[in-house]
Amino acid sequence: MTKIIPAIMGGGVGARLWPLSRETHPKPFIRLADGKSLLQHTFLNAAALPGVERVLTITNRELFFKTEDEYRGLNVSGIESTYLLEPVGRDTAAAGAIVTLHVQQVFGDDAVIMLLPADHMIREGDAFRAAAAKAIALAGTGRLVTFGIEPEYPETGYGYIEADGENVVRFVEKPDLERAREYLASGRFYWNSGMFCFTAGTMARLMEEHCPDILAKSREALLAARHSSVASGLRIELDATDFSQVPKKSIDYAILEKAGNIAVVGCDIGWSDIGSWKALADLTQPDDKGNRINGDTVLHDTEGCYINSSERLIGVVGVKDLIIVDSADAILVAHKDEVQNVKQLVTQLKERGHEAHNVHRTVHRPWGTYTVLEEGERFKIKRIEVKPGASLSLQMHHHRSEHWVVVSGTAKVVNGDREIILTTNESTYIPCGTRHRLENPGIMQLVMIEVQSGDYLGEDDIVRFEDVYGRR
């Protein structure tokens, strides 16, 4: 029986979806109206393919714990995970090479790989599985297969595939509106989904022919990788020195535009690459005035707007065709026709050195989360949540002292030479320069308030002596 290995490609910031998407919380982790993230939807679609027992995920190593938490939250049984962790991003050709080499080594040349972006949405699961069955059959004949989405309108934000039946004629970059209309009218073009299906042996041969440098350097990085077991399967950390030397190219440029005999499976699977707020808005049903609402709102004389608020009430009066997105530390207001330019705001934030391009007010860590409640001259107040059984590193700060107050749960604290247990309403003070550690020894979430004071309160003022998560 053919071995089917889905491989999910993480990566990309999703700057057009700021302020919900940040560099440390990229697009795959954005939650939709049903409470699931794009990454979780992708995992569920991959795991539902017939005969799948293992799902690969290739992503940045800094996102490993967040990714593992996303999968754990689904409570899917019978599926093991392999995490291929990149020290730096080297684009989709390198990701495809690493996945291919790993599957070839473990499962052999005939294993079929289903390469799926982590941040696309597929709403029609049955249609996707039917399309996947066709792609798997074609891949078994030695062909590289791509999924073509039947176009609904003349979209200028997608690449296109021209096809003659199941045979790809050419790949086309994002067209202008006039050309997109011509493509739609011809009936010969599909939207390029960025999803692929192939055997490990087929892709290895194509890479050896068209991008041998990418394949060779990826092989070196994989051979030098560190392997370790995790609760859900296997963690493989690629060697940073070797992987950073892999040429940075897309799989489209490195393979698809050069290879022949590529097949396409045309499909209507409720697909979207969620490349803008307009695309995300389309996943929400409109009201009788065309407004699409996610969150608590009150509207008057408002038409055709998308409003997303996870925390606060949003009042909107006398406007139309606006995108309004509220997060804990930033608000976006944009006209629907300008949503592709949201990334320009992210560029400006980077140039100004503003944290809002990189992190949310709530920051995820391997042990839990922290939320900055207030910050001012020489002080910062955080709400800290620590998972049951988790612990922070044994650490020290040069420039700040900290006061910890337990709100709920039980804390095991190392404070200098002392080890103490704190429960609700109890506290401890940690002077600047003192070694300390926080641990949750209980079975419930530990919630604490931390008050920092000092002349520098940046997150980089930390010296780690011991860390169970391997951080320096």
DSSP letters spanning 239-256:
-HHHHTTS----HIIIII
Residue 252 structure tokens:
């489209």
- Would the CA dihedral through 258, 263, 266, 271 be positive or negative? negative
Alpha-carbon distance of 332 to 440, in angstroms, equals: 37
CB distance 238 to 84 below 8 Å? yes
Per-residue pLDDT tens for 183-219?
999 999 999 999 999 999 999 999 999 999 999 999 9
Residue % of the chain over a pLDDT of 70:
99
Residue 46 structure tokens:
């991959």
Residue type, 352: R
**pLDDT higher for 331 or 360?**
331
Q: Given pLDDT bands bounded at 50, 70 and 90, which one contains residue 469? A: confident
The confidence score (pLDDT) of residue 340 equals 87
Residue type, 234: L
192 SS3 class:
strand
- Would the CA dihedral through 401, 406, 407, 409 be positive or negative? positive
CB distance 359 to 371 below 8 Å? no
> At 21, which helix (H) or strand (E)?
none
Alpha-carbon distance of 76 to 304, in angstroms, equals: 38
Q: Which residues pair with 411 in a beta bridge?
A: 422
With CA atoms as reference, report the closest residue to 163 among 141, 138, 142.
Answer: 138
Which homologous superfamily does the CATH classification assign to the domain defined by 362-466? Jelly Rolls (2.60.120.10)
Residue ranges covered by each domain of the chain = 4-272, 286-351, 362-466
220 SS3 class:
helix
Per-residue pLDDT tens for 387-434?
999 999 999 999 999 999 999 999 999 999 999 999 999 999 999 999
Average pLDDT score over residue span 373-384? 95
Whole-Å CA distances, 52 to 59, 77, 131, 136 = 20, 12, 16, 13
Give me the half-sphere count of Cα atoms (radius 13 Å) on the Cβ side of residue 40: 18
Average pLDDT score over residue span 3-25? 91
Q: Above 90 in pLDDT, residue 468? A: no
The one-character DSSP state at 73 is: T
Q: By CB neighbour count within 10 A (0-12 exposed, 13-18 middle, 19+ buried), where does 67 fall? A: buried
Classify 4-272 by CATH class.
Answer: alpha beta
Whole-Å CA distances, 184 to 158, 175, 180, 256, 376 = 13, 11, 6, 22, 55
Angle (deg, nearest 10), helices 64-72 and 38-47? 60
∠ CA 460-464-468, nearest 5°, is 120
Angle (deg, nearest 10), helices 200-210 and 91-107? 130
When computed from its CA atoms, the radius of gyration of the chain, rounded to whole angstroms, is 24
Report residue 23: phi and psi, to 5°. Answer: -60, -35
Per-residue pLDDT tens for 240-265?
999 999 999 999 999 988 998 899 99
The one-character DSSP state at 238 is: -
- Would the CA dihedral through 429, 443, 85, 383 be positive or negative? negative
Residue 372 structure tokens:
């900055």
Same topology between domain 4-272 and domain 362-466? no
Q: Given pLDDT bands bounded at 50, 70 and 90, which one contains residue 75? A: confident
> At 227, which helix (H) or strand (E)?
strand 226-230
Alpha-carbon distance of 31 to 37, in angstroms, equals: 4
94 SS3 class:
helix
Q: Which residues pair with 439 in a beta bridge?
A: 391, 412
Alpha-carbon distance of 115 to 260, in angstroms, equals: 19
The confidence score (pLDDT) of residue 359 equals 87
Q: Above 80 in pLDDT, residue 110? A: yes
